[in-house]
């Protein structure tokens, strides 16, 4: 009796400690996460083991990352588990612009190969599960992970010859998205463990920074024919979704999993920092003022040639939608030391058709700020994954993974800010070392993208803002995942 009581006290203590650790990790993620992209704005996946096996994990789902891939797999976890992971991602995109308005080079860095602000992103991730033994065949837990993210900064615009009164920002185009998923999950086994079902709740916190340059006709002669307007949207907010999963064991050698998730709508609130860059050409200014006939026309010229830029920061609201998906996978164990997995997943990226940005306040010219639309028109995709894990000796395993995933982004809305160029091919190799209640694992991923050439400048919705950036694109990506799991 005393032993049972002692075990219960220890168990409760472990539960409290485990959840405190998760809360600390979640707080750290919310202020320090950096991101990079894989498919659309999704990352390659969650969990060092699953990523090391190419994301072919729905049919295996035998560690904490089952909360993401297939929550039914949590019934296979015998102990409570806390996991910490650090991902270092080094993207290498290239862009050679070919952007002309009416046959004129209006300031974009055409004819040269450009690279973004080159930096390696370090992504911390954490999760854990506290198994409740008091309820038979029931597993519950909480995961904290990052399912979506992108990060890029580009110096695309160079207004040489336009005589701007003030310097233009170096990194004038920026895309930065960070989404953290806090994921309570429950799973239950039936039929003596042959059948498992699970479901989880996605409580997502997202933040978005999106900066672009816009050109608007000024009515002035060349080279001042366009007004240069910079816009940087910053917002954050919450959204709620869910996922589900089923896992069936046909035998000790074969099991199959089916899982999916709903989309999530993140309600973002923030500001749109806008700047209208004025001209510094006294000769042209005086000529124009001498030809003006009304006070309003003269005021407009003085406005465009003012010594300081005109700025505003209207409040902004926008709904960012993440996609639903569904997939099926298998795990085959032909011999005791080897596990082979495969996955096929369908993602409904067409929910990302556009983002309506609702602005309240004034524009840089003092007029009421107008709503704007970011056009995407993305397409649905199918991802194919294969993986393998081989235990060389009892504490040491080798992992291999592969996946192929097309880009959801069509030519007419393609920009370097979300550089998912085309079909992605990923190769992974990693290892795991188990000792006592710890598992240390490492995975290296190489991701190549199909090249893409955009030849047409396109305004999809006719709002006067071009949605594509013509030019030649290339990209590749390297990533390292280091993970430490503690089971108790």
| C-alpha span between 459 and 53 (Å, rounded) | 41
Q: Where are the domains of the chain?
A: 2-487
Question: Could you say which architecture CATH assigns to the domain 2-487?
Answer: Beta Barrel (2.40)
**In the beta sheet, which residues pair with residue 439?**
434, 485
- Which stretches does DSSP call E strand in 171-225? 173-190, 195-217
Q: What is the pLDDT along the chain (488 residues), one digit of tens a residue?
A: 323 323 333 333 333 333 344 444 443 343 333 333 456 777 778 888 898 999 999 999 998 889 999 999 999 988 777 878 787 877 788 999 999 887 888 888 898 898 887 556 676 666 766 666 646 778 888 888 888 887 788 889 888 878 888 888 888 888 888 899 999 999 999 998 899 999 999 999 999 999 998 888 888 888 888 889 999 999 999 999 999 999 999 999 999 999 999 999 999 999 999 999 999 989 888 888 888 778 888 988 999 999 999 999 999 999 999 999 999 999 999 999 999 999 999 999 998 888 899 999 999 988 899 898 888 999 999 999 999 999 999 899 999 999 999 999 999 999 988 878 889 999 999 999 998 889 999 999 999 999 999 999 998 888 888 889 999 999 888 888 888 888 88
- The CA-based angle 351-352-357, given to 5 degrees, is 120
What integer pLDDT is reported at residue 240 of this predicted model? 96
What integer pLDDT is reported at residue 346 of this predicted model? 97
Q: How far is the CA of 193 from the CAs of 11, 137, 196, 250, 457, in angstroms?
A: 24, 8, 7, 11, 57
What integer pLDDT is reported at residue 292 of this predicted model? 77
- Locus of tokens 């803002």: 465
Residue from 422, 441, 443 nearest 433 by CA: 441
User: How many CB atoms are closer than 10 A to CB 218?
Assistant: 13
- Locus of tokens 């990079």: 36
CA 357 to chain centre: 19
| C-alpha span between 234 and 409 (Å, rounded) | 23
What integer pLDDT is reported at residue 120 of this predicted model? 61
CA 7 to chain centre: 42
Query: Which contiguous run of DSSP H or E holds residue 244?
Result: strand 226-249
What integer pLDDT is reported at residue 25 of this predicted model? 42
What integer pLDDT is reported at residue 344 of this predicted model? 97
Cα atoms in the 13 Å half-sphere on the side-chain side of 196: 32
DSSP notation for 315-378: EEEEEEEEPPEEEEEEEEEEETTEEEEEEEEEE-GGG-SEEEEEEESB-TTSSBPPPEEEE---
What integer pLDDT is reported at residue 9 of this predicted model? 31
What integer pLDDT is reported at residue 479 of this predicted model? 85
Give me the phi and psi of 290, to 5 degrees please. -70, -20
* pTM for this prediction: 0.85
Dihedral angle, C-alpha 102, 108, 114, 119, nearest 10 °: -130
């Amino acid at each position: 009796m005393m032993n049972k009581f002692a075990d219960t006290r220890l168990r409760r203590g472990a539960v409290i400690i485990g959840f405190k650790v998760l809360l600390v990790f979640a707080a750290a993620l919310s202020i320090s996460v950096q991101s990079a992209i894989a498919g659309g704005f999704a990352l390659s996946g969650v969990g060092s083991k699953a990523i090391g096996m190419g994301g072919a994990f729905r049919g295996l789902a035998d560690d904490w990352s089952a909360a993401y891939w297939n929550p039914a797999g949590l019934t296979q976890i015998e102990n409570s588990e806390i996991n910490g992971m650090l991902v270092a991602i080094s993207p290498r995109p290239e862009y050679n612009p070919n952007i002309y308005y009416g046959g004129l080079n209006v300031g974009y860095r055409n004819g040269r190969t450009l690279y973004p602000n080159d930096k390696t992103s370090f992504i911390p991730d954490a999760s854990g599960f506290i198994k409740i033994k008091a309820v038979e065949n029931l597993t519950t837990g909480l995961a904290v992970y990052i399912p979506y993210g992108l990060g890029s900064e580009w110096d695309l615009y160079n207004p040489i010859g336009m005589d701007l009164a003030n310097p233009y920002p170096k990194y004038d185009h920026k895309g930065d998205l960070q989404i953290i998923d806090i994921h309570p999950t429950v799973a239950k086994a039936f039929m003596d463990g042959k059948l498992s079902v699970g479901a989880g709740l996605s409580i997502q916190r997202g933040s978005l920074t999106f900066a672009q340059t816009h050109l608007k006709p000024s009515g002035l002669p060349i080279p001042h024919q366009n007004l240069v307007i910079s816009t940087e949207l910053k917002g954050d907010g919450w959204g709620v979704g869910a996922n589900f999963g089923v896992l069936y064991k046909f035998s000790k050698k074969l099991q199959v999993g089916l899982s999916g998730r709903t989309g999530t709508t993140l309600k973002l609130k923030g500001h749109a920092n806008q700047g209208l860059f004025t001209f510094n050409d006294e000769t042209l200014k005086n000529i124009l003022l001498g030809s003006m006939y009304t006070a309003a026309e003269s005021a407009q010229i003085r406005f465009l040639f003012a010594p300081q830029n005109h700025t505003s920061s209207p409040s902004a609201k926008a709904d960012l939608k993440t996609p639903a998906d569904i997939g099926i996978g298998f795990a085959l164990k032909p011999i005791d030391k080897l596990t082979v997995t495969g996955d096929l997943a369908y993602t409904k990226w067409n929910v990302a058709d556009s983002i309506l940005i609702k602005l309240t306040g004034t524009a840089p010219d003092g007029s009421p700020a107008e709503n704007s639309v970011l056009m995407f028109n993305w397409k649905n995709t199918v991802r194919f994954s294969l993986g393998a894990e081989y235990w060389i000796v009892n504490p040491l395993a080798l992992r291999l993974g592969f996946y192929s995933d097309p880009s959801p982004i069509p030519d007419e809305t393609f920009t370097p800010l979300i550089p998912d160029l085309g079909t992605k091919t990923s190769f992974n190799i990693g290892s795991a070392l188990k000792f006592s209640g710890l598992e240390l694992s490492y995975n290296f991923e190489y991701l190549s993208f199909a090249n893409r050439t955009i030849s047409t400048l396109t305004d999809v919705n006719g709002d006067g803002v071009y949605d594509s950036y013509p030019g030649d694109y290339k990209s590749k990506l390297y990533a390292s995942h280091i993970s430490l799991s503690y089971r108790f």
